[in-house]
Amino acid sequence: MTRPTVLFVCVHNAGRSQMAAGYLSALAGDRVDVRSAGSMPGDQLNPVAVAAMAEEGIDIAGAQPRLLDDASVQEADVVITMGCGDACPYYPGKRYEDWELDDPAGQPIETVRGVRDDIRRRVEALIAEIAPA
């Protein structure tokens, strides 16, 4: 069986999608190919999102926001959007999910922890479906 590729997409690729990618990489290991991108990527990751993930022992500080392109979507088996709306190209045969998550940008760490924990629950459910241990 080939490894599924999961693409997480949000607007800035600086918070939610990076936290989700960090969790999926940490929890699924090499069973899943993990990517993330943004429709309008920021200059850097949200430092509060980085700190919230560090509390979980997951280092996302080295990640860089990436621009979403058609090739990324075409290569993915599962595309998970987080508030990027219509900016995400649609290809038949892909599995699309939209995760309604609060935007952690500009929020205090207490709020970002809630978003982080919601993302973890969703990532764990995704792994159970597409790449069980």
Set 24, 32, 34, 84: catalytic member: 84
| 79, 10 Cβ separation under 8 angstroms | no
For the chain, the domain total comes to 1
pLDDT per residue over 75-128, tens digit each?
999 999 997 666 677 888 899 999 999 999 999 999 999 999 999 999 999 999
70 annotated active-site? no
82 annotated active-site? no
Q: What is the CATH number of the domain that holds 28?
A: 3.40.50.2300
**Per-residue CA distances from 64 to 15, 38, 53 (Å):** 11, 11, 15
| 112, 96 Cβ separation under 8 angstroms | no
Query: How far is 116 from 40, CA to CA, in rounded Å?
Result: 21
Q: Does the reported pTM lie above 0.75?
A: yes
* Alpha helices per DSSP H over 34-108: 47-54, 70-75
Q: What pLDDT, on a 0 to 100 scale, did the predictor assign at position 84? A: 65
Domain range spanning residue 86? 5-130
Assign 1 a pLDDT band (cuts: 50, 70, 90).
low
pLDDT per residue over 50-76, tens digit each?
999 999 999 999 999 999 999 999 999
